[in-house]
Amino acid sequence: MSAPVVDKKLMAPARLTALFDAGSLSYIHEQVEGIGAVSASGTINGRDVIAFTNDPSFQGGALGIAEGDVIVDAYKIALERNTPIVGIWHSGGARLQEGVSSLKAFGDIFHIMTTASGKIPQISVVLGPAAGGGAYGPALTDIVILGPEGRVFVTGPEVVRSVTGEDVDMLRLGGPEPHGRRSGVVHVVSETEEQAILDTRNITDLLGNQGMLNAASITDTDLGALLPESASRAYDAHPIVSAVLDEGSAIELHPRWAPNLITTLGRFGGRTVGLVANNPLRLGGCLDATSAEKGARFVRMCDALGVPLIVMVDVPGYLPGVGQEWDGVVRRGAKLLHAFAECVVPRITCVTRKSYGGAYIAMNSRSLGATHVMAWPDAEVAVMGPLAAIRILHRRRLAEVEPESREAVEKELADEHKITAGGLPRAMEIGVLDEIVQPEQTRTALAAALLAAANSDGSFARGNHGNIPL
């Protein structure tokens, strides 16, 4: 059975119509023969939004001066109206016939995207090939959603083959595997074009219509019941993330890229928040070079767009090893420190099980300016776990212990170390921990901390910077 024939001339208007609320679309630049871009205004869940799309019916959506003007005009209107902007990308890149003029058009687009960064939400959905400059356009925005036919690459398979000799197709070069799992370019991979448009609508609504925190709507649930009985056993943190946020509101970003750190947008008491959580199911929840970069990008986006943060911590430290050092764990780990330290939106930390070493600092500690830090009663805050600590501190003594007695001696020394190091009482004493909360009271405690950090009108502070991390 042959595939259905798709009329490319209907693609651009149909995609904009599907994006906006029914009957709300109003064209800024209509589909015109010879111009491969269309733009319009409309609403998403009643909120004003500006959108543009490449028109693949004309030269595959290749971009020249006229198309650049359409997109730049759309951005100017979005900035004037202070509304989110959505880009629907399906472009073969620069129009070869126009030469350097097409490169100038892309440069103009990149410039206004950078100007808009941190001022208005920018969401990209890639529904076809996005090549050359068409790849960098989405990458400069806050969120990138990839549809089933979306492909993102700087140079296409033919050029790659002729220059490097590599035999690769568009899927392997720029599909969901390279960009949803390995490069981190794509935040959300959608299975159908309809789902991609729906994901775009939902994310645009979360970032463009953030709402107000209604503490009265917050009900508690026993989050501690979601942890395994053994404190050393790994577990999936996704159920905790879902239980903290309002039911059905969570949209995870980068679920397959650096899955040891979960970054999720959702609503909490009706208010958009960002939630960061270590995931002990992957790498034991350790931070590494990639997850630190992932977390930094998410934190900076939330800060720039005024989205308060909830940070659920269960981290044993940074992942050690030659591979990590070579992969830039120091450089990329510093990005997460920088992101939290410069953050001005309210950011509440809850330590559920443990927080050790440098990762304790990096996961929104009081030293980095956390708004409020809480911990569950059995949580541990330390340089390292007590067993690892005593094996260093008492290695000579332990070396003299008979093998059959070693476990008992280690337990005794570990218990002593917990008391000596101070744990949560010491953390409270020096002011790096604000309160100890029961797991079944965590949601109301988080709501109270967020409300205490709000302005008199219920709004929150917002960072004054762009979204691309240094």
How confident is the model over 223-271, as pLDDT tens digits?
Answer: 999 999 998 899 999 999 999 999 999 999 999 999 999 999 999 999 9
Q: Which of 87, 128, 133, 150 is catalytic?
A: 133
Q: Pull the structure tokens for residue 189.
A: 């991979």
pLDDT at 434 over 70: yes
Mean pLDDT of 412-430: 73
- pLDDT band at residue 287 under the 50/70/90 scheme: very high
- Say if residue 278 is in the same domain as residue 138: no
Mean pLDDT of 381-409: 67
The CATH number given to whatever domain includes residue 113 is: 3.90.226.10
Q: Shortest CA distance to 210 belongs to which of 286, 304, 141?
A: 304
When comparing pLDDT for 459 and 396, which is higher? Answer: 459
- Say if residue 200 is in the same domain as residue 250: no
pLDDT at 7 over 70: no
Q: Pull the structure tokens for residue 312.
A: 């659920």
- Say if residue 257 is in the same domain as residue 369: yes
296 is catalytic: no
What's the pLDDT score for residue 409? 63
Q: Which stretch of DSSP H or E encloses residue 427?
A: helix 423-430
In a domain, 397, yes or no: no
- Say if residue 94 is in the same domain as residue 177: yes
* Distance separating alpha carbons of residues 250 and 241, to the nearest angstrom: 8
Q: Which of 12, 62, 277, 359 is catalytic?
A: 359
What's the pLDDT score for residue 468? 73
When comparing pLDDT for 148 and 387, which is higher? Answer: 148
In a domain, 252, yes or no: yes
Dump pLDDT digits (tens) for 163-195.
888 888 888 888 899 999 999 999 999 999 999
359 is catalytic: yes
In a domain, 427, yes or no: no
- Final residue belonging to a domain, choices 206, 231, 259: 206
In a domain, 230, yes or no: yes
Give the number of residues written for the chain: 470
Place of tokens 């989110």: 84
What's the pLDDT score for residue 174? 83
Q: Give the count of domains, the chain.
A: 2
Q: Which domain holds residue 363?
A: 214-376+437-452
- Final residue belonging to a domain, choices 171, 206, 241: 206
- Say if residue 195 is in the same domain as residue 221: no
Q: Which of 132, 150, 269, 333 is catalytic?
A: 132
- Say if residue 81 is in the same domain as residue 171: yes
pLDDT at 294 over 90: yes
For residue 88, the number of C-alpha atoms closer than 13 Å in the C-beta half-sphere is 33
- Say if residue 63 is in the same domain as residue 131: yes
- pLDDT band at residue 3 under the 50/70/90 scheme: very low
Q: Shortest CA distance to 275 belongs to which of 234, 318, 244, 306?
A: 244
- Final residue belonging to a domain, choices 174, 206, 238: 206
- Say if residue 229 is in the same domain as residue 323: yes
* Distance separating alpha carbons of residues 114 and 83, to the nearest angstrom: 16
Mean pLDDT of 304-332: 95
What's the pLDDT score for residue 181? 92
Q: Pull the structure tokens for residue 192.
A: 């159908």
In a domain, 289, yes or no: yes
- pLDDT band at residue 216 under the 50/70/90 scheme: very high
Q: Which of 284, 306, 328, 358 is catalytic?
A: 358
- Say if residue 107 is in the same domain as residue 225: no
Mean pLDDT of 446-467: 92
* Distance separating alpha carbons of residues 159 and 90, to the nearest angstrom: 19
- pLDDT band at residue 285 under the 50/70/90 scheme: very high
Q: Are 128 and 156 in contact, with CB atoms under 8 Å apart?
A: no
Mean pLDDT of 6-21: 84
- Say if residue 224 is in the same domain as residue 355: yes
Q: Pull the structure tokens for residue 369.
A: 């300016």
pLDDT at 2 over 60: no
* 42: β partners: 49
- Say if residue 61 is in the same domain as residue 142: yes
pTM as predicted? 0.92
What's the pLDDT score for residue 426? 86
In a domain, 270, yes or no: yes
* Distance separating alpha carbons of residues 370 and 337, to the nearest angstrom: 12
- Say if residue 80 is in the same domain as residue 218: no
Dump pLDDT digits (tens) for 57-67.
888 888 999 99
132 is catalytic: yes
